[in-house]
Amino acid sequence: MSLRLFNTLTGQKETFVPLEPGRVRYYVCGVTVYDLCHLGHARTYVTFDVVLRHLRASGFDVTYVRNFTDVDDKIINRANKDGVHALEVSKRYIDEFYTDMDALGILRATIEPKVSGTMPEIIALIEKLVAGKNAYVVERDVYFAVDTFPGYLKLSKRNVEDLEAGARVDVDERKKNPMDFALWKSAKPGEPSWDSPWGKGRPGWHIECSAMAFRHLGESLDIHAGGRDLIFPHHENEIAQSEAASHVPFAKYWMHSGMLNIDDTKMSKSLGNFFTIREVLKDVDAEAMRMFFLTAHYRSQVSFDLAYHCPKCGALVTRQIAESLRHDACAFTKEEARRAVKFVGIDEAEKRLFYVYRTLMKCDALAASMPASEGPVLKPELLAKASSEFTEAMDDDFNTAAALSSTSALLSFANELCDKPPKPRDQSVRTAARIAAELRRGGAILGLFQGDPVKRVADRRVRLIAAKKIDTAAVDALLEERKSARTEKRFADADAVRAKLAALGVDVKDTPSGSVWDVKED
RNA sequence: GGCUCGGUACCCAAGUGGUAAGGGAGCGCUCUGCAAAAGCGUCAUUCAGCGGUUCGAAUCCGCUCCGAGCCUCCA
């Protein structure tokens, strides 16, 4: 089996054949650093992080370039608003970007260029386009002439008439065609600017990516990726300016990730219906968020569902009620209402994630109970099937949802095995070790299951105790009370104590070595 | 208005011509003094609707209904 991926350019799944055997030139459009990242960014970068990991696991030597757009109108606006220099704004949000991406386990790119560090290349590229008559200078601005590039709109599969019918294109008399876009914009007073043959100014939005890709990867890339919303105009314009200058195909494969919706509408800054990554991570596990994204195919649109609860009585309420800050006799603050919002999909993913970690914990314990030994394992066919299904799913256009489901049989078998290891014991021990290794192998490609299970489970417990405000001293006291009731065989009393503990959100588990407790799952 | 994509069980979701993966919830069972965890079983004669093509359709074609995205800055 070989890797197949969906190419936006051709509209179909194709076998992946890199331009140079064994090597992949991979470019992903990065963020404009003027604000904190939201969940939509998280989904996109998790998606392309998995693509990177799978390419590498498949044996490719990947050069991964992901840029930072640090010269842009929105950054300038932000700088003016905050009364600081534009570069301070971008520096700050690059740091914030790393904080969020690191939390989500997203790997650093091989090269992470910035627009501000690529000016000579950008200017040279624009000069080349002007010299080749694909671009023209008007006063101190430079525009790309879309009519000079026959392949224009081949990626988004539109035609100029359709776009013009939209009638939302800026009417600028100075452009030869309304679709022409700026390569260089002359500086307005107070803006950061760079010297150029056309005077002080800065690059237009699209040219930077072409210049950065050319500089670090050459004129032809294997894969160019980004969010679906970049297909037009951003990627379309990148193709036009790059290919007009180089006369070779800019990227062989174009990959686009689906949008993240909230309440059935795309999450976006302009609509204001967004959650920043970090505000959601206050309430949920980062790895669970990552897993949530991977339970759906990367090209499909994912809905981020919210469940609204009354902060006072806990009842499930409608969004309208939650926003009205009043539910029957309960009244609450906006902050309380926000804290009571449940992220349905992530909560579900978190349950599954910790089922995996508990399973790994049991496998590790069994594996460590005896020195490692050589020999056959139990159900080798189950292991082999899970492994090949996982790889096949990933090879089929990065079908992470199917890959994840291929681990199910392995997980239930692991639990069965660890709970009652069949004899001979050394065979069970080897099998547990093999299953754990296989789960971790697949997990590494998804960027999941790499934590220390004991630590992850313990940390989650601490987090849930804090979130549910469980009084551990009270729990311990009740546990003592129950212990004496049990030793005296006063089971009715013991059960009454169990009920009290349940009311506190605590589950008690009686083991041969005594009673332990955990936070009750919702 | 134009162009795309989608509608699969109570919920999430894979599957794009060979007879409906997986997960969550629910229910039943095993284990347990009770419980939890874990395991097992059960849970869509059917894939928005209606026609058509085919030996065979969730998958292909046509129409209808519904939802979303893009056409302006967006991941």
Into how many domains does chain A fold?
4
- The C1' atom of B45 and the CA atom of A344 lie apart, in whole Å, by 32
**Per residue in A243-254, pLDDT tens?**
999 999 999 999
Same domain for A119 and A13? yes
Asked whether residue A144 is domain-assigned, the answer is: no
**Per residue in A267-276, pLDDT tens?**
988 888 899 9
Asked whether residue A421 is domain-assigned, the answer is: yes
Q: What is the DSSP letter of A113?
A: -
Measured from the Cβ of residue A491, the count of other Cβ atoms closer than 10 Å reads 11
**How does strand A265-266 pair with strand A306-309?**
unpaired
Asked whether residue A497 is domain-assigned, the answer is: yes
Same domain for A311 and A234? no
- The C1' atom of B53 and the CA atom of A15 lie apart, in whole Å, by 30
Same domain for A116 and A255? yes
Examine residue A197 and say whether the peptide bond preceding it is cis (omega within 30 degrees of 0): no
Q: Indicate whether A448 pLDDT > 90.
A: yes
Question: What residue has token string 């757009």?
Answer: A69
Run of H or E residues at A243: helix A236-246
State the ipTM, two decimals.
0.96
Same domain for A11 and A107? yes
Q: Which among A224, A197, A196 has a CA at the least distance from the CA of A210? A: A224
Same domain for A292 and A316? yes
| Separation between Cα atoms, residue A481 and residue A486, nearest integer Å | 9
Same domain for A17 and A126? yes
Strand B nucleotides, any atom under 7 Å from protein beta carbons: they are: 1-6, 11-15, 21-25, 32-40, 67-75
Same domain for A215 and A82? yes
**How does strand A306-309 pair with strand A342-343?**
antiparallel
**How does strand A23-28 pair with strand A221-227?**
parallel
Asked whether residue A150 is domain-assigned, the answer is: no
Same domain for A60 and A119? yes
CATH of the domain at A441: 1.20.120
CATH of the domain at A54: 3.40.50.620
Same domain for A84 and A14? yes
Q: Indicate whether A163 pLDDT > 80.
A: no
Same domain for A495 and A437? no
- Protein residue closest to B32, using CA and C1': A510
Asked whether residue A271 is domain-assigned, the answer is: no
Closest nt to A393 (CA→C1')?
A: B14
Lowest pLDDT segment from A31-45, A152-166, A371-385: A152-166
- Protein residue closest to B36, using CA and C1': A509
Asked whether residue A192 is domain-assigned, the answer is: no
Q: Is the CB of A305 under 7 A from strand B?
A: yes
- The C1' atom of B54 and the CA atom of A52 lie apart, in whole Å, by 42
**Per residue in A271-330, pLDDT tens?**
888 999 999 999 999 999 999 999 999 999 999 988 888 888 877 888 878 888 888 888
Domain that holds residue A291: 286-345
**Per residue in A19-40, pLDDT tens?**
999 999 999 999 999 999 999 9
Same domain for A238 and A302? no
Same domain for A14 and A122? yes
Asked whether residue A324 is domain-assigned, the answer is: yes
Q: Is the CB of A13 under 7 A from strand B?
A: no
